[in-house]
């Protein structure tokens, strides 16, 4: 009879911390559902407008409707970094829900192309501001759980995309816009019940509040006190000028790595296929409903994002990115050969008409394994605490500029390079990404944020093998201090 109380106590001491952290990560990443809806929305909006839903658009206006969802992302990213730096990670996530609500209402009520433009611009700002969720989750997670918690972002985004494709098959674009408001309201309310990031509280000098925050996530007084002492002592030992912090190797190296990785991600066509899903399948001349094809891709993305959550803590970030790039290279190579052959031999009947669909599905599967989610995860991991919010915003700003550029020029690429030439560009980027991930991309699996920072500073840190927080093993050296933290009830 004593076994059950012991199990309950063990769960509370060791398992409850992981449970509440998982719930917190889901609430924070729920904003990614709205990001996914924003990313996939043009794929249902443009075909429906072209089918005459009251507002007719030409090819130039269509490209703007698709790209305007990304053009203001950089503005939102910069705002996110500033808000997260001065008001906290939690408030930054909540504030991003407001322009989402306004943008979706603007689109739903639109009766002309200009109002649609405004709605896409506003939701684009909101999508950029939502990037603070990755910083928040990285700072409240333990090294062993950080990877799987961060993959909740791509999972939620994939769910939003799939939901958009599915709703677009049954409902008109205005109704889908109104339904999207619900998810923004959910994020706004759910995040209110979460504590602020303890790392941010330590940075602002609120050690007592950071202890209460760590206790909320870890459900263990000793562990919470140890983490506060470790992080606060680290902060006190690295007081440097702003110029020294931003120009240090610990900041410059991650910046260059992430910008290059995002550039290759965008050039490989991942987001182009996403934004133009329905139109992309029209280019393939498949004898099936283009919306159904898009929904199939959405289902694959969602399933693979869940699988990635399992794989990310088993194989590490670099291995998954390499596998992802290799798979994308193979699928794009097959598609390039296929379409180039039939562009030259236009009179021949296609032997394997479903081959493009199969290749696209596998390309999406491989992209979801690493090249799509991992760069976003690394944004919250690679930068030191002093610059994490600002530099994360800057990098995501640049990444979203890349997304806008490649989404905007996709129709022009089709015109100048033909469909096979456009796919050839995606192929070349996938090959370069494979080489880059093999020789440049660092591995952060099971490493604490401090160990990652030390790695870029070329410091020795115990082999950089990370530490295992399972069972909350404590380091007695951390308690050689007279400072005691208590929880204050307000």
Are 455 and 447 in contact by the 8 Å Cβ rule? The answer is: yes
Which sign, positive or negative, has the C-alpha torsion 409, 415, 420, 421? negative
42 vs 467, more confident: 42
State residue 260's pLDDT score: 94
Q: How far apart are the first and last CA of the chain?
A: 38
The 3-state secondary structure of 39-54, one letter per residue: HHHHHHHHHHHHCCCC
Residue range 449-464: mean pLDDT, rounded: 62
109 vs 275, more confident: 109
Residue range 416-425: mean pLDDT, rounded: 86
Per-position DSSP letters for 88-132, written without gaps between them: -HHHHHHHHHHHHHHHHHHHHT--SHHHHHHHHHHHHHHHHHTTH
178 Rama sector, left if φ>0, alpha if ψ -120 to 50, beta otherwise: alpha
Judged against a pLDDT cut of 80, whether residue 74 lies above it is answered with yes
Taking CA atoms, 140 is separated from 5, 247, 319, 375, in Å, by 28, 27, 25, 19
Residue range 27-36: mean pLDDT, rounded: 90
Which sign, positive or negative, has the C-alpha torsion 246, 247, 249, 251? positive
Token representation of residue 374: 């991992």
419 vs 440, more confident: 440
Domain ranges of the chain: 7-194+238-460
58 vs 412, more confident: 412
State residue 11's pLDDT score: 38
With b meaning 16 or more CB within 10 Å and e meaning fewer, what string describes 145-173? bbbbbbbbbbbbbbbbbbbbbbbbeeeeb
State residue 469's pLDDT score: 35
The CATH T-level fold of domain 7-194+238-460 is: Growth Hormone; Chain: A; (1.20.1250)
Residue range 337-344: mean pLDDT, rounded: 82
Secondary structure (3-state) at 272: helix
């Amino acid at each position: 009879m004593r076994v059950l109380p012991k199990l309950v106590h063990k769960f509370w001491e060791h398992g409850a911390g992981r449970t509440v952290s998982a719930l917190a990560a889901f609430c924070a990443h729920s904003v990614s559902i709205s990001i996914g809806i924003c990313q996939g929305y043009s794929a249902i909006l443009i075909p429906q407008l072209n089918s005459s839903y009251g507002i007719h658009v030409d090819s130039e206006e269509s490209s703007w409707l698709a790209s305007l969802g990304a053009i203001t992302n950089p503005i939102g990213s910069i705002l996110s970094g500033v808000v997260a730096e001065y008001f906290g990670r939690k408030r930054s996530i909540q504030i991003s829900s407001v322009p989402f609500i306004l943008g979706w209402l603007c689109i739903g009520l639109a009766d002309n192309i200009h109002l649609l433009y405004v709605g896409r611009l506003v939701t684009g700002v909101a999508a950029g501001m939502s990037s603070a969720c990755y910083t928040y989750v990285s700072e409240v997670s333990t090294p062993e759980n950080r990877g799987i918690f961060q993959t909740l972002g791509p999972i939620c985004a994939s769910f939003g995309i799939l939901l958009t494709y599915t709703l677009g098959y049954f409902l008109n674009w205005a109704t889908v816009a109104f339904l999207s408001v619900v998810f923004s309201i959910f994020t706004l309310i759910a995040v209110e019940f979460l504590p602020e990031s303890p790392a941010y509280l330590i940075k602002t000098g609120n050690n007592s509040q950071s202890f209460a925050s760590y206790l909320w996530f870890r459900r263990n007084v000793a562990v919470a006190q140890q983490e506060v002492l470790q992080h606060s002592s680290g902060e006190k030992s690295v007081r440097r000028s702003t110029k020294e912090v931003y120009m240090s190797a610990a900041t410059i190296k991650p910046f260059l790595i992430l910008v290059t990785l995002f550039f290759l991600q965008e050039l490989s066509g991942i987001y182009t296929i996403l934004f133009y899903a329905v139109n992309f399948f029209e280019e393939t001349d498949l004898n099936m409903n283009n919306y159904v094809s898009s929904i199939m891709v959405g289902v694959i993305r969602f399933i693979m994002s869940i699988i990635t959550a399992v794989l990310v803590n088993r194989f590490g970030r670099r291995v998954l990115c390499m596998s992802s790039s290799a798979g994308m290279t193979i699928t794009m190579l097959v598609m390039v050969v296929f379409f180039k052959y039939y562009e030259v031999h236009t009179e021949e009947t296609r032997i394997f008409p479903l081959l493009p669909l199969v290749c696209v599905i596998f390309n999406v599967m491989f992209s979801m394994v690493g090249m799509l989610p991992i760069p976003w995860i690394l944004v919250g991991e690679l930068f030191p605490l002093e610059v994490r919010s600002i530099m994360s915003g800057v990098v995501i700003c640049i990444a979203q500029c890349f997304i806008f550029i490649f989404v905007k020029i996709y129709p022009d690429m089709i015109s100048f390079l033909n469909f096979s030439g456009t796919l050839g560009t995606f192929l070349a980027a996938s090959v370069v990404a494979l080489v880059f991930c093999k020789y440049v991309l660092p591995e952060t699996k099971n490493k604490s944020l401090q160990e990652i920072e030390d790695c870029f500073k070329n410091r020795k840190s115990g082999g950089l093998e990370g530490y295992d927080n399972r069972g909350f093993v404590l380091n007695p050296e951390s308690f050689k201090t007279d400072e005691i933290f208590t929880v204050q009830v307000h």
